[in-house]
């Protein structure tokens, strides 16, 4: 029996536009793979500080945006609303954020970091910056900027 070739080494024979491309050359898979290799570098820091990726994203968005409504927060942190509710409860229990009803619109929930939450981010910031610097050393700051520009272009072109 002849050894099988690894699918990534086989040529893509779908030139008519109707076949499926090899998964390693599809945008969704490539973006997921890129996310995973980047996040592998941050996960030890997050785990050591008992915070999940989603919790960290929520806190980072709040640190950047200030107090905001839950819908904006869910959108910017790329988290579904039901998951955000659970994450907010956990972060409130740790004393990192506070949520309250908007006095002007009782249907709207406003969320903000507490001083303890801001302090937690300040504590992890040097470690996070070091990890980011290591990534920059490997691929170059200009390449990161170009990649971010291309992703921004993709988002603008495809968002409804």
Domain parsing of the chain, residue ranges = 27-158
First to last CA, the chain: 51
Higher pLDDT, 22 or 140: 140
Alpha-carbon distance of 50 to 112, in angstroms, equals: 20
Q: pTM higher than 0.85 for the full model?
A: no
Q: What is the pLDDT of residues 63-105, one digit of tens each?
A: 999 999 999 999 999 999 999 999 999 999 999 999 998 888 8
Residue 35 bridge partners (DSSP): none
How far out from the chain centre does Cα 13 lie?
34
Please answer whether residues 80 and 74 qualify as being in contact, where contact means their C-beta atoms are separated by less than 8 angstroms. Answer: yes
Interatomic CA distance for residues 30 and 38, integer angstroms: 12
40 has pLDDT over 80: yes
Q: How much is the mean pLDDT over the chain?
A: 90
8 Å CB contact between 97 and 112: yes
- Give me the helices (H) in the chain, please: 27-48, 53-65, 70-76, 81-93, 115-139, 141-158
Q: Which residues contact 53 (CB under 8 A, 6 or more apart)?
A: 39, 42, 43, 46
Residue 14 has pLDDT above 60, yes or no: no
CATH code assigned to 27-158 = 1.10.10.10
> How would residue 4 be classed by pLDDT, with cut points 50, 70 and 90?
low
What mean pLDDT do residues 150-158 have?
96
């Amino acid at each position: 029996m002849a050894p099988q070739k690894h699918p990534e080494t086989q040529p893509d024979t779908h030139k008519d536009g109707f076949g499926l491309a090899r998964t390693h050359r599809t945008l969704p898979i490539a973006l997921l793979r890129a996310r995973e290799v980047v996040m592998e570098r941050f996960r030890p820091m997050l785990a050591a500080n008992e915070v999940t990726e989603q919790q960290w994203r929520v806190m980072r968005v709040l640190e950047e945006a200030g107090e905001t409504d839950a819908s904006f927060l869910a959108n910017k942190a790329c988290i579904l609303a039901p998951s955000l509710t659970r994450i907010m409860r956990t972060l409130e229990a740790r004393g990192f954020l506070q949520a309250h009803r908007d006095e002007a619109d009782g249907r709207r929930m406003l969320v903000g970091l507490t001083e303890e939450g801001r302090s937690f981010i300040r504590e992890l910031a040097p470690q996070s910056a070091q990890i980011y610097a290591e990534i920059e050393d490997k691929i170059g700051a200009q390449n990161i900027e170009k990649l971010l520009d291309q992703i921004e272009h993709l988002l603008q072109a495809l968002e409804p």
